Structure 1
Amino acid sequence: MMKSTILKSIFTVFLSLTLMASAILHDTTNDIKVKATFEGYDEMGYNFSYKVKEIQSTLIFEEIKEEFIEKYDLEGETYVGKTFELKYAIIESTDDDSDEEILVLKSLKLLE
């Protein structure tokens, strides 16, 4: 009986540690999900716009994963005007002289 209780306790601790490590490694608590229209690519980056309560906003991703560029040809005109579901994070710049925030695109899914 005592062995069973000890094994259950060890398993519970191991499972808890595994779940905590997974949450730390795959931190999605700061991810933002939005439906946005692709406006195109220019010298500033990849532009997506969305509207919340009649206020138009634009997201500009200076760099994105190569897989997104290849999958959707975001440097061409094919997907301009198409709606995507974006998941992104806002990362604060590590430069001490700047309060700049960097947008990091984590996932991109065509909705239309």
Structure 2
Amino acid sequence: MVNIQGKSLITIILKKMRNIIIKTVFILFVGASLSFTTKQYKFTNPIKTLATFQGYDEYGFTFSFINEEGDEDVVTFETISDKILKMYNLKDNKFLEEEFEIIYEYKKSDDDIEEPILQSIKKVK
């Protein structure tokens, strides 16, 4: 057996192999963890429409509007950004039945669930 400064060659090789294996397992673990937690979202084209605010409840913020076919339709936003809520406190009844120009789009997740996301809002006078 060959000794290098009091250590055998086999001991040195085993320590290096152990370090390589530990690093490899760590990298694989981190990569696998990230692949399970990262959700990909796709956004559709923005939709711009005039809409009437119908109110806020446990489901979210609801607006009614006339769709492309001329029928009345509704869209409910589960959440609205703090920036928009600072401009218009839609949790208050003050804006019920008020007309707004809204721009929104649908966020589509990997599991094909679409959620409307309000991008901008402007009160129509």
Q: TM-score range by the shorter chain?
A: 0.5 to 0.7
1:92 aligns with 2:108: yes
Gaps of 5+ in 1: 1-27
Q: 1:70 aligns with which of 71, 86, 104?
A: 86
Q: Distance in 1 between matches of 2:66 and 2:101?
A: 13
1:20 corresponds to which residue?
none
Runs of 4+ in 1 over 2 A off after TM superposition: none
How many residue pairs are counted as aligned between the two chains?
Answer: 82
Output the aligned Cα RMSD: 1.8
Which structure: larger Rg?
Answer: 2
State how far apart, in whole Å, the 1-side matches of 2:73 and 2:104 are: 15
- The percentage of counterpart residues that share the same residue type is 35
Alignment partner for residue 35 of structure 1, among 50, 55, 72?
50
Cα displacement (A) at 1:93: 2.2
Paired AA for residue 85 in structure 1:
E
**Structure 2, unaligned runs of 5 or more:** 1-42
State the TM-score, normalizing by the size of structure 1.
Answer: 0.67
Q: TM-score, normalised by structure 2?
A: 0.60
Q: Give the distance between the partners of 2:47 and 2:66, measured in 1 at CA.
A: 15
